Chains A and B, each alone.
Chain A
Amino acid sequence: MRRINKINKYFIASIFTNTTIHILLIIGCFFMIFPFIWMIISSFKPNIEIINIEFKLFSSNWTLENYKRVINEMPIYRSYFNSILVAIVATISTIFGASLAGFLFAKFRFWGKEILFFIVLGSVMIPIQIVIIPLYYMISKINLADTYIGLVFPFLINAFSIFLMRQFIYGIPSELIEAAKVDGATEWRIYFKIILPLVKPAIGVVGILSFLWTYDEFLWPLVVVRSNEMMTLPLLLGRYSMSEGGVIAGPSLATATIVLAPILIIYGFFQRFFVKGISMTGIKG
């Protein structure tokens, strides 16, 4: 009898704590997405209603005025194109570069391998913030400032992706590669026919992360871009943040929505893939 009572007590207690946990988590989730909801709703409100003494989440005068202003005042289409182009080039280059280097480091033995790996490892400690002045000097001296090549150059490959690929390719059985070699396949053929198809999950992670990082990069474009034509979306937003406060709240929020919309939509569809891929990298690290 006493035992049953005890179980009952635990049971009630656990229902109670479970409910509390769910309530707390729901509140937490609300805070996680509230800024986005506010951003999207406010971007369709007249400017004066966004930051106002009277707080109303929903306005009675919906308007597209803010979006019209952004399109008229800022080179938004061009910036969109620039951002996507730079991010795609960096992503493709990182996928190929990192998988090639990962294959090299995981499956080959050659003179200088340790030194080369040490250089890649060391580059983790030299992020772009540290070398931005000489890098800018170099890029501007060879007249690549304010060009696509200059914009994308520092993001063509990164050490993190090389490590991830190396780790992943290390897990591929060498017998598979040996067998292909016996059949007379070259290393290039093995890379394209065996390695690339087998590292698809890692390609997904590296691709997503490279795309997001480059799409969101702010400091390097801020330094290297001079003309309106070469602006990326983050720079466009940065320009709005220059003018203080509520005066341009509407257009800023419209721009922020334009910047975030593709990411949020893609995330909505491939959410599980994102989460899985990124927790995989966490365990590896």
Chain B
Amino acid sequence: MKNILLKRNHIRSFVIIVSLIVLTYYIFVGIWPFIFNLYMSFSKSDLSGNWIFVGLNNYKFLFRDPVFLKALINNFMYLIIMVTIGMVSSLIIAGFIKRTSGLAKKIYIALFFAPVVTSLVAVSMVWKLLYYPEVGIFAKMILSMFPVSPPRFLADPNTALLSIIIMDVWKETGLRVIILHAGMEEIPESIYDSSRIDGASSITQFFKITIPLIRPQIIFLIAIYSINALRVFTQIYMMTTSPPGGPMNSTQVLVVKLYLEAFRSFKAGTGAVISLVIFILLFGLVLMEIKSFQQKWEY
């Protein structure tokens, strides 16, 4: 209550104008397109203006399409692998950085964070060339260090998706590290001191003290990155272009499929169904995350 300004009886221009701006904008970019998208999912159109009602045909067509199912599975794989590798590596790095100090710490943070601010389109391009099979840099590095023939990365259906995930993990590590590190810095040193007297090793401390105490940050990051994993488009489109979706659809994901259906095959209806599928998945994820946030308070 303290934080809310006194009511005034006359109409306040500020409130009306600002709420109208916000409301109008969100009607145009959110509410109306969302409702229209629902309608589209039951119709056939090439986006030129004719809409023919076709009932559930788009849905039937899509759920029988093996490429769509492959995209759905790939999105889940992307989510699980990217979040797992990303969180584990970032936790370790943040734990390491916490044990350094002074200028070295600042430099580490600055360098780990550098890829985060850069353009995803540009780094996807660079990584595509780094991944060049046989004569690319990564292939040669592996060849010089291990006595095995290096993978063909993006050109091999078995490794293509994983290669893209590794690039994604690389790019976003800095952001996770900074958020986790900021959480770790807030843990009072006295907790560590007293556990050290009890004879806890630094590894025990990490698992028993650090991780439980930065649980809010961990959940927050998992939430953000699982949502990102559902929306992934740019890196797939940039790194596996011919055909889009990689060799044998091995990197096909929902948003790429949506783009191909709606803007390459001009089947807006099928594209609209994919949008709805993404929305439902997103909705489920957000609900799950709200739940795990609430659990925090019981903890």
Contact = CB atoms under 8 A, between A and B. Distances in A.
A joins B in a complex: yes
B5 A108 contact: yes
B108 interface: yes
Contacts of A240: 125
A142 to B, nearest CB: 11
A129 B258 contact: yes
B67 interface: no
Nearest to A257: B122
B47 interface: yes
B22 to A, nearest CB: 5
A65 interface: no
A188 B125 CA distance: 46
B85 interface: no
Interface band, chain A? 35 or more
A136 B104 CA distance: 48
Interface string B239-256: 101100000000000010
Given A35-B126, A97-B21, A263-B119, A134 B40 contact: yes
Interface in B262-289: 262-263, 268, 271-272, 275-276, 278-279, 282-283, 286
Contacts of A84: none
A71 interface: no
Nearest to B11: A110
Given A32-B111, A122-B30, A256-B126, A238 B238 contact: yes
A138 B282 CA distance: 24
A193 interface: no
Given A126-B34, A237-B122, A101 B241 contact: no
Given A33-B114, A129-B278, A134-B36, A100 B108 contact: no
A64 interface: no
Interface string B159-189: 0000000000010011100110111000000
B22 A116 contact: yes
B170 A108 contact: no
A80 interface: no
B119 A191 contact: no
Interface string B28-49: 1111111011001000000101
Contact of A127 (B32, B113, B231, B241): B231
Nearest to A169: B3
B206 interface: no
A252 B125 contact: yes
A252 to B, nearest CB: 6
Given A55-B137, A110-B15, A130-B275, A32 B115 contact: yes
A131 B114 contact: no
A108 B15 CA distance: 8
A215 B119 contact: yes
Given A28-B93, A129-B275, A241-B238, 14 more contacts: A29-B112, A38-B130, A55-B140, A107-B4, A108-B14, A116-B19, A134-B34, A186-B14, A241-B239, A241-B241, A252-B125, A253-B126, A267-B117, A282-B220
23 contacts: A21-B96, A29-B107, A32-B111, A50-B129, A101-B21, A120-B22, A123-B30, A132-B262, A133-B47, A133-B262, A134-B32, A138-B32, A181-B5, A218-B120, A218-B121, A241-B124, A244-B241, A244-B242, A267-B114, A267-B117, A278-B175, A279-B181, A279-B182
CB-CB nearest 7 A-B residue pairs: A187-B14, A282-B179, A131-B33, A134-B33, A134-B36, A234-B121, A29-B111
